[in-house]
Structure 1
């Protein structure tokens, strides 16, 4: 797309909310990939021609080849907490600014994680499928009783921001005893806020009624 306004041009790699485009358009010429498909590297490089910035998701790889094809780029902004799609060495060598969005989904992810815990413990999905299949024809005392959440022991492996948010939900909202294991123990004030106790991994696995893994998706 030719720049006819003299303003800096930016590219949005996937569909975003209209208000984001409206805000960007106050300052830039904006081009968006409105197909919402992940562009192959060669197509992404082509779409970035003449752009000083790009709004990326975790799907687009920003590496030395892309930067070499677009030396005019000044900023790559990731709509993600992580930035594993960024080759940071190449970005730094090119003098390009890289940004991400840390902590914006901590509470949202914790909500979802706790919802999964409750659904699993109370057999919500299993019983919903049973009902929709037309198999519920009588009441039984032990039908899909599941396991108690309130007052039970929650074991959390991985106690970063999301793990702490889940711990707060369990301890303060459901009266759960929270134990955790992490590479490093939390500061006493954080443990108190989460009402969580540090234990070794073997103790956690032996004593927890529910175990949640809140760990990075990586080989380490």
Structure 2
């Protein structure tokens, strides 16, 4: 299995909850960084040996990863890293757009001054990571910013669904960030983040909605440009393409 040398074996005194969390965190990062490739099998017995744990915390971590859309359980009960299918990308972007606009509008309606402080700092933190070009850190900082808005919206049902989409999108972003870094470019700052905070602070729901939609379009355009350059011209075996 790829990435096997990255994890430190868990100690025998590790509590089950801590063990499952350690496995989840490690596998999540490896999936997001594409160390574990889309479609790669995840065998419970092999993982138990790798992490020096029983299969119970392994299974618990895999269930949590499945709930986040990062792994998939097949009809034969085997588990694989969730495939990346570019044929479904338009539907993914559509879902992100609707939920992003909804949570941003709600944030403009319900935000507190404490919420504004949190999201303002998250926007600054994202900008601080941009010059590093570190793909995992960038996608994490981006998620933290957008979830600060979702939490300000005070609707945990929408926030939970939105978080799952953001997690699924982090693998797509990783391809994009890695491509930019490989070509010696610095990932651009996101003025839309700060503009969204300003609209939310002003309780301007219409402007918050417009900026959230614009932000999705920027994401969509960047990913399409990336796909055109790296997939259509030089197909990547990690990406699955289906007819139709």
TM-score, structure 2 as length reference: 0.22
Higher helix residue share: 2
Q: TM-score, normalised by structure 1?
A: 0.24
| Structure with bigger RCO (C-alpha 8 Å, 6+ apart) | 2
Find the structure with the greater CA-based Rg.
1
